[in-house]
Structure 1
Amino acid sequence: MASIDAVSLTVLLGAVLVLAGILSSLIAMRFGAPLLFIFLIIGIAAGEQGIGGIKFNDVSTAYAVGIVALALILFDGGLRTRMTTFRSVLGPAGLLATIGVLITATIVMPVASYMLGLGWIESLLIGAVIASTDAAAVFFLLHAGGLRLRPRVGATLEVESSTNDPFAIFLTIMLVEILVKGGGGTASWLKVAGELSIEFVLGGVIGVVGGRLIVWVLNRLDLPQGLHAPFVATGALVVFGVTDLLHGSGYLAAYAAGLVVGNRPTRAHNTVITFMDAVTWLAQIVMFVILGLLVWPGRLPETLLASAVIAVTLMFVARPAAVFLCLQPFRFSWREKVFVSWVGLRGAVGIFLASIPLLVSMPKATIYFDVAFVVVLVSLLVQGWSLTFAANRLGVSLPRIDTAPRRVELDLPGQLEQELVGYAVTPNSLFRRQGLIPSWAKLMLVVRDERVHSVEEAGPIREQDYVYFLAPPEKAQALDRFFVNAPAPASPDSRLLGDFYVPGDATLAALAEIYGVDVPSDERNMTLADFFASQIDHPVENDRVHLGSIELIADRVTDGRVITVGLDLVDPEAKEGELTRAQRVNKAVDDVLRQLGFKH
């Protein structure tokens, strides 16, 4: 009976800790506190040296939980990344996720060696452990802070934080192997480079194949209702496990599989998204709390000064150097580079990687763990809480008029192309004020006074109605902007497309594809910002240039470069009243937002 009671007590304590983590998210959202910091503090408080007094030193269990959690988090990151977004920032994000991690670890190395008295490879291991940015921390703080970043900046940060973990994990494991088995000569490093290449190729290939298999099963097999989402989550872990057994990068495979599944039409798409959202939240909470339980606060002062110096070096030297070097070939302004440098948030991945030396019982293993823990806390407290301030001061955020409206999505069995999407009609929404709605969204039902009406029965839409549209699943989220309850601008420009803008780094080819305008082949890859610069020496706000039948209006200009562009589609030869404003934008407006990388 005693053993049964012990198991029951363990389950109870674990459930209470997870429940505390879930409820603490309300505090984090209310005060903008870094969520990871809250979870770690709960774990520390519950630990052997905290008020909970729980004795936990099972590094193997923590490592296993971390593997599962990271695989699910990376899969979910891929699931939510649009392929167009991924392709548009693959160059800068890819360099940051690989070369950037190596540069960061290398710069940290001499500082760690001097402050901790470690050898060069041991010091490089310190750098590798803390070199990658944390996707969970980046996503949460950007969303909790209410930030709407310039499209390319936001996309670069999201893709980099989702893809740099595989490189950091591989580098850490290779350095641990060299330290445990000996070596470190030229032959060893050449072997590391060769194995790294193989791991990345295997991870990418198996991830894509695994993602397609998941899509095939979802769409071809008639799974019982409610099992689609668990199947996808389990499939992600299978892809990770198979890749890892074949000595590929399981983490890269998980992200690639999510990217494939998220960009293909599937059954129960919205159910899968909702389920994965809950699963990744739970995975983060469990992982962070367990890592917090492993921390011994009484041991931290031994390396506190060295850890603080390493954290400052990381934030103010190593990360900025990596960002400025990796983004040099791309057209990022210095303000954007500074902001990307500041969003080098460290999180659970660093602490998780620091547990590997503990797992293999390396000498001085506790040093890696303690340093990583302090660096993560400093990063979250200093960078995490100042994220919104930095974005506003550097001018890389766009105005956010309001939070997204509550959206209801209903799958329609028997087909994959359409779903029902519902919203409440608010007085200050674009749909209510101007009647704007994309052509691919067809109004089907109106709920008024707790009764369901057809479109014909309902007549004109009123405030407080609930409207349901038939729309493609991949475009459903784009409808949110039409139902945000935001006041109309004080002095709107009647020649702009309502409240819609596109980023200056959108290409002429993208506009040509959508609107059918002719663009010379040698200018198709030119961005709108570069096109403005070629037409006007020093563009300022409200400058206008023509591109075929489209008039481009410089909306926001920073340091002489056009950042956001308004579009005017009015045909100068059209008769007054021939086309309504809603008709002019009806067909193309959301395709512009989606294909040109607009984030809302």
Structure 2
Amino acid sequence: MTIYILIISLVLILALVAMRLANDFKIPQLLLFMLLGVSFNFFGADFTNYAFSNQVSSLALMFIIFYGGFGTKWKMSKPVAKEAIILSFLGTISTALLTGFFVYFVFDFSLLEALLLGSIVGSTDYASVSDVLVSRHLKLKYNTDSLLELESGSNDPTAYTMVVLFVSLLQGQRVNVPILILLQVGVGLAFGFILGWLFIRLLDYLKSNEGLEVILLAAAALFTYEFTNQMGGNGYLAVYIFGIYIGNKEFIGKREVVFFFDSFTNLAQIGLFFLLGLLSDPGSIIAMIPIAFVIMLFMTIIARPASVYGLMFPFKMKKNQLSVIAFAGLRGAAAIAFAISVVNSDTPNMNDLYHIVFDICLLSSLIQGGLLPVLSKKTDMVDPEDASLRNFNSLQDKSDVGFLATKIKADSDLADAYIRDINLAFDFIIAKILRQGETIVPKGNVQLKVGDIVVMAGRSYFDVVGTDLLEFRINDYNSWVNKDIKNIHLDHEFLIVLVLRDDNDLIVPNGDTKIREGDTVLVLDAKGIEG
């Protein structure tokens, strides 16, 4: 036990050093973690326990996928959700099948084995992409970050379903493909939403403020994953949906959850890539490099671009955006976990799938990871105003800072005003200005224009009690329909705070605001409202 504690502590220290070296020398961090694992083999390490590794990798990937969903801001992702979901489902299938058929025709693989390999490496890894973009302080234009985040966060379950299918076929099982896909996807989606709905209400009921939310959410994610698997569904899909549902709700202790899982998922990624290196054999790595290089090259210049350009053609995207999306198909944590599970399943195969996947991930991190920043700059896809993917939204989750946005109207006192002349009566600061899709830095000599969206920052408020607001929808029979707020009789203790119209038009009400059928109204302490 003592020697294992020493080894684990040494690995963690070396991993932190590797992170610093990666930042200094502009090398993908995950690449160094893989090489760190390989280096232990040169000192006599002989670790080939695939059963244990499968359990560890599945658990690590589950938490990585959960937190990927948790950190997905649906409001940011919604404008590109259709494109991202198409890529995560059809794009993953297309990339996997094209790669599989290529491997079948070029190398000495059976068809099923080739398709299995294509499925293992078919999904993209946002952690790898994010690592490259954040470390190089790059922010992509046209909401491409959100598209890649949603696509790569949600495409692992598709690849996993394909892996399960081809493993079953290779093992000689009789598989009803439509039923298998229906169960994997349908049950996964259903339990992701249902358990998310249940656990957010449990969080609200417990109202703990002692850091126990982290324990509850970790346990809930584990339960969601394993329960869905036991019901025949895709546990990875369920836990991703669960993460999105929970992550887009506000609850006590959310910042603590974010801080914990930020560190924990980093540790999980370090562990996965280190484990991949530790399980490898240096001789086999070298032997499989030619095959892996050809496959990685095919995926990079043909399979992934063909899938992206073909599926995104109806959406009329810009060519430079498509180029970056197509090139950003880095392979990572999911491919590692799937490769380990395939080896552990004793699936009959003629080729060394594990070391081929190892080399594909290694070369993908080295070549694609190294060239992605260059391509982003060459194609003018870098937004010069935003420094990295850690933006306003992640800041809100990690601090007491809140953001408000208001649009400058023609009759506003702020129209044509200079920033230096604006005297905010409250403790707010203008954080940035959005003008016709461009970000303006709010310096003193900047003049506000009609149509500008002004983003203000200040201390946010979280309602611990959670019972002071009542939200309800105005139906056609409601007595408030078509009434001005000043003509609605409310007790003096009550106040209409906000009106949400058409699901996305947020109205700050005044006495002349007319309530319409279909509005969602938020009322402060609304007990005892009179019609």
Q: Does 1:382 align with 2:367?
A: yes
Q: 1:202–1:265: structure 2 CA closer, same or farther, 3 Å change rule?
A: same
Correspondence for 1:275 among 255, 260, 264: 260
Q: TM-score if structure 1 supplies the norm length?
A: 0.67
Q: Secondary structure at the match of 1:15?
A: helix
Please list, as runs of the form range in 1=range in 2, the aligned pairs for 1:332-347 lying within 5 A after superposition.
332-347=317-332
Q: Secondary structure at the match of 2:401?
A: strand
Q: Does 1:322 align with 2:302?
A: no
Q: Does 1:86 align with 2:72?
A: no
Q: Does 1:257 align with 2:242?
A: yes
Correspondence for 1:370 among 330, 355, 360: 355
Correspondence for 1:284 among 246, 254, 269: 269
Match of 2:298 in 1: 313
Please list, as runs of the form range in 1=range in 2, the aligned pairs for 1:206-225 lying within 5 A after superposition.
206-223=191-208, 225=210
Match of 1:421 in 2: 401
Shift of 1:35: 1.6
Q: Secondary structure at the match of 2:346?
A: coil
Contact 1:105 1:130 in 2 (8 A): yes
CA distance in 1, matches of 2:352, 2:391: 47
Match of 1:137 in 2: 128
Q: Deviations over 1:17-67 (max 9, x none)?
A: 1222133212223333212111111111113xx23x222101111111111
Q: TM-score if structure 2 supplies the norm length?
A: 0.76
Q: Does 1:351 align with 2:333?
A: no
CA distance in 1, matches of 2:424, 2:30: 39
Q: Structure 2 unaligned runs (5+)? A: 404-417, 434-439, 456-501, 510-531
Contact 2:419 2:447 in 1 (8 A): no
Contact 2:140 2:383 in 1 (8 A): yes
Runs of 4+ in 1 over 3 A off after TM superposition: 363-366, 400-411, 419-423, 432-439, 478-482, 486-501, 509-516
Q: 1:313–1:401: structure 2 CA closer, same or farther, 3 Å change rule?
A: closer
Match of 2:23 in 1: 29
Q: Deviations over 1:114-153 (max 9, x none)?
A: 4431111111111111110012112222222211112432
Amino acid at match of 2:48: N
Contact 1:357 1:365 in 2 (8 A): no
Q: Does 1:39 align with 2:19?
A: no
Contact 1:36 1:348 in 2 (8 A): no
Q: 1:405–1:201: structure 2 CA closer, same or farther, 3 Å change rule?
A: closer
Match of 1:77 in 2: 68
CA distance in 1, matches of 2:139, 2:397: 27
Contact 2:213 2:253 in 1 (8 A): yes
Shift of 1:109: 2.1
Contact 2:113 2:349 in 1 (8 A): no
Q: 1:402–1:142: structure 2 CA closer, same or farther, 3 Å change rule?
A: closer
Amino acid at match of 1:34: P
Q: 1:487–1:116: structure 2 CA closer, same or farther, 3 Å change rule?
A: same
Q: Structure 1 unaligned runs (5+)? A: 1-6, 412-418, 424-431, 444-468, 470-477, 502-508, 517-600
Give the number of aligned pairs. Answer: 441
CA distance in 2, matches of 1:261, 1:437: 38
Amino acid at match of 1:15: S
Amino acid at match of 2:299: L
Contact 1:146 1:400 in 2 (8 A): no
Match of 2:479 in 1: none
CA distance in 2, matches of 1:365, 1:231: 44
Q: Does 1:495 align with 2:489?
A: no
Q: Secondary structure at the match of 1:89?
A: helix
Q: Does 1:9 align with 2:3?
A: yes
Q: Deviations over 1:266-298 (max 9, x none)?
A: 111111111111111111111221121011110
Shift of 1:300: 2.5
Match of 1:461 in 2: none
CA distance in 2, matches of 1:361, 1:263: 40
CA distance in 2, matches of 1:408, 1:264: 15
Q: Secondary structure at the match of 1:169?
A: helix
Q: Deviations over 1:330-377 (max 9, x none)?
A: 131222111100001111211221222311223346621111111111
